[in-house]
């Protein structure tokens, strides 16, 4: 089984995407809040859906859901024994 964890590059990607697509903008989000978005992406990866998260339509500047995918240099993958 594989587990993935967002790294510093991934946190920067998340912050940049929130700056582009979230109504509240980049400056609104604290480190803890970025960590929550990272946890959502990690959960998505664990469920087999890729390293991504969704900004809901009511929170996006576009008025539609925005799915943000963290590139492979934004997370580290490790193999976990399922014992």
Domain boundaries defined on the chain:
2-79
Residues 55, 47: Cα–Cα separation, whole Å: 18
pLDDT of 48 over the 70 cut? yes
Q: Tens of pLDDT along 28-37?
A: 999 999 999 9
Q: What is the mean pLDDT of the chain?
A: 94
pLDDT of 1 over the 90 cut? no
pLDDT of 4 over the 90 cut? yes
* Radius of gyration (C-alpha) of the chain in whole angstroms: 13
Q: Tens of pLDDT along 10-25?
A: 999 999 999 999 999 8
């Amino acid at each position: 089984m594989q587990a993935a964890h967002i790294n510093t590059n991934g946190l920067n990607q998340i912050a940049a995407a929130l700056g582009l697509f979230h109504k509240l903008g980049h400056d609104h989000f604290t480190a803890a809040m970025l960590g929550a978005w990272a946890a959502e992406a990690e959960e998505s990866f664990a469920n087999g859906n890729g390293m991504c998260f969704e900004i809901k339509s009511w929170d996006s500047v576009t008025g539609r859901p925005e799915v943000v995918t963290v590139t492979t240099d934004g997370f580290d993958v490790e193999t976990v024994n399922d014992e």
